[in-house]
Homo-oligomer: A and B are copies of this chain.
């Protein structure tokens, strides 16, 4: 596949550009018979939507989704579900300046060399706007996983720049503009972001995503592993530069006696594995951590070259997220849900007839 499709059986083909007529996707492989309405998808799109606080891009997009196919009388039919989101606040400003130079840290340079042509309007296809269809598709995957297996996928921001944001409470995530799982640092985060905007600069962030009640057995032994596909999906999210599962880089300093999660009849006694062993889900929570780089489109002047190689200075004005990490939480959740739905289908294709007497363990509590 040329590269715009995620998944093998529950699969999503993404299309669109930031300032073209529309963005959207086609979901192929969603099982039939599931209740699905635009409202089920809209709720997730609204979480990702721009313009919802002063800390994110001020572009005004309702991100209204239209289901074009695959649903009949409110239920999925097992045929492709096409989702359409029209771009509305696409400004007709002059992009000729951006089109002639390459923003440091931006895809301008690579698109130009790869394709010999690029749509400079709002970053074209490299824009984070293309995560809207991912979130829409993820909403469908989340719903199916929840109804079929009771899976719950949630995320939060754990770090903004050098500010650590401790996990306090899942319920807090929806009560602040940062997806912080606790409000103790929110004032500090707000002040930090306000200063950042005044500086014309941007900053990175760290996001945690967790999937609970995942069936045991998802993933393949060699190459097609669940952890591999999670890393693929997450590293493919705009601006992500690092991915950890379970203990992640902390594993480097661990001893085997410390890292390997012991088992007892009541469950696994720890979760350094992050819910995946040998590339296959264990039934414990799957825990993923992402490192996101600072936005490359900033007001501060930076050295660059133009299309003929001559030196120039670039300052990017316009509407940009000063921390792309802020809106990344619902996207990372969507990606995790899509990978899990895909592997759930792959697993039952091959192993639908398997049954063992061994009890399935979760993570032991307490």
Contact = CB atoms under 8 A, between A and B. Distances in A.
A59 interface: no
* This chain's copy number in the assembly: 4
Given A249-B291, A252-B205, A256-B295, A115 B354 contact: yes
Interface string A240-268: 11111111111111111111111111000
A168 interface: no
A331 interface: no
Interface string A67-87: 111101001111111101000
A69 B15 contact: yes
A221 interface: yes
Contact of A225 (B77, B109, B230, B235): B235
B4 A278 contact: no
A130 B68 CA distance: 13
Interface stretch (A40-48, A172-180, A305-313): A305-313
Interface string A130-172: 1000000000000000001000000000010110000000000
B69 A203 contact: no
A318 interface: no
Contacts of A257: 201, 298, 300, 302
Contacts of A32: 115-117, 350-351, 354
Q: How large is the interface on A (under 10, 10 to 19, 20 to 34, 35 or more residues)?
A: 35 or more
Contacts of A117: 32-33, 72, 75-78
A252 B69 contact: no
Interface in A255-302: 255-265, 269, 272-274, 276-283, 291-296, 298, 300, 302
A37 interface: no
Contact of A11 (B1, B67, B202, B220): B1
A273 B223 CA distance: 25
A228 interface: yes
Contacts of A282: 109-110
A184 interface: no
A17 B79 contact: yes
A326 B40 CA distance: 42
A68 B20 contact: yes
Contacts of A351: 31-32, 78, 114-116
Interface in A295-342: 295-296, 298, 300, 302-305, 307-311, 325
